[in-house]
Structure 1
Amino acid sequence: MKVLPFLRVCACDFVDVVVRPKKNGSTKSHEGSANTKSGSLFYRWLTIAFLTFSSLAAFTPHTLSSGLAPSLDKLKAEEVIARHLESIGPADKRAAVTTRIIAGTSLVIFRTAPTGQAAGRAVLASDGLKTLIGMSFQSPVYPREQLGFNGNSFVAAFITPGVRSTLGSFLMAHDVMFKQGLMGGVLSSAWPLLNLATRNAIVEYNGTKEIANYTMHEVRYLPHGGSDVKIRLYFDSENFRHLRSEYEVVIPAPMDTRAYANVEEREIRYKMTEEFSSFKTENGLTLPHTYKIRMSADGRGGTFLGDWELNLIQFTFNDKIDPAAFNIVGE
């Protein structure tokens, strides 16, 4: 059994690099003979054209779509999910992988004041429904980000004594992403679409959307029991790989809106997105090797915008992981 001490993601466990600020011959013929021939050809052409047009009129777009494949916007969520699973790999390959330990590098960029960036190491681990995302940075103000779900409860570690990051605080308040296995997408063994029936979630197909020059299928994910988080999953329109997840939360302003110290109470908006790219085959599974998280917040305390990018280079499957590795200590 691997205890995997590196899953604790202490800054001292990794070597990281800190930052910098910032496609002429002629043919004779008798005139009467020529006219007769050209007239005959003309009427023959007219007859062919009429018959062709009549055939095409009967072969309507509906016939095309029903005879070949359903229109993109007429797909069902279940069809998108089935083809998405095929994009990961054959069913036997998917079932053969029980645990995952994925390591690589990480980069964080804070785009609102105080701005800054730092580079470090990252690890993702999962075993069944248990998941962990850890990042380490050589920074006194932001040394780490540890996010773990042990199968029962989710914890985001403090980055400094008593203080969580904006990302960690958001996930502590809205832990459905970890409890439903959504965080990390297909990189995690907890990815709910691998066995949707056990989640009792509702999925709805919302058609196609253009995002970042990609046409994507949008699927709404509604967890069993409901959630205040609006969850949308996006899949490539051609190969059905999972490319993006969006999570939005809007906290309304108090009904008796008043001004305190010249600051008016207003709604708070949170949005977190995950993006997945650089797909390659690992152990028979097609998985992303670049994983990005973007977090934005806009509310009474001001605005926040931050990006995390993980480049994953080492994939280990089916090694036994000590369950204690998923128990994050809050302090």
Structure 2
Amino acid sequence: MALTHDTLSAAPDFSAFVRKDQSGGASLDLLVKGARCAGCMAKIEKSLAELPDVASARLNLTEGRLSVRFRGGRGDAGRVIMTLDRLGYPATPFDPGQAAKAHDQESRRLVLALAVAAFGAGNAMMFSVPVWAGLFGQELGPATRNLMLWLSALVATPCALYAGMPFFESAWRSLKAGRANMDVPISIGVVLTLFISFVETILHGRDAYFDAAVSLLFLLLIGRWLDHRLRARARSAAADLLALQAPSATVVGPDGTERVKPLGDIAVGERVLVRPGDRIPVDGFVEDGVSELDNALLTGETAPVPVRPGDTCRAGAVNLSGSLRLLTLARSEDSAVAAIARLVEAGAQTKSLYVRLAD
């Protein structure tokens, strides 16, 4: 779906969030909402890859983090965000705090929807069982049977409408974008089931399926909540690795003055002082000093490794004996520990043969 020139000219300016790397390229990290399956991921990555200034796009479903790399040293971040919005996936510049907050809100919402669906399924079934029994020759008059159906509708309908909101909202965003995702057939099935059940009840028909609609949502929400928990566990494993990085680093200025900077503000080419007992904050090579490193986090090897000027040190290693002055080679998000964390997340997202067969 192409964007017109007028639409692009009205796009907000997100150029401040485009990051330059040491090779001169440009990249952008976004928090994408509403992407839940491999189909969503493929749709997003394919649509963004068709933009003229986008070299690659990779969506991490675990975090909801979309990494976009641009051709050349510049990129139109506003066009990327508006393209995602037109696809039905609203996006904002990635912020870890905001991502964690959105994840917690989604978790609470799914738990509440699951509880409502469980209540509706159990109580609607209570009124449906006498109707089923009456179909097998038991004594249940038409008036009583119709009353049971109306009571089932009274319980199941509001529960189904509330519990189905995660599916309905996702389906509506997808349809507005002129596409269909996995929540569209679910929403159509639930709405049509409720509609047919009301028609049957009003016309004093034999069958109504109020309990089936809310029971379907209950089962689907169990699967969605388990998927949500799996992603949270994968994110937690990666976060535990990243938590082993030093939160800040001591930067040595050209005049020899020392000042402490947050890890995210350390740029490539800065000189960092690492004292004994500190962790290496970012990847770099030794300019001055002799020491030993504990690389157990990176390699699993507990034997100390000697380092001297000219040797490369990786983020996450522990400086054991002497002070080191490093010239940084990468930002914190491009360090060895960050790469390991990304591999952990990718491994958690990879589906085994049996999971693919079950899907």
Instruction: Name the TM tier (shorter chain).
Output: under 0.3
| Superposition TM-score, scaled by structure 1 size | 0.20
> Which protein has greater RCO, CA pairs closer than 8 Å, 6+ apart?
1
Higher helix proportion: 2
- Higher strand share goes to which structure? 1
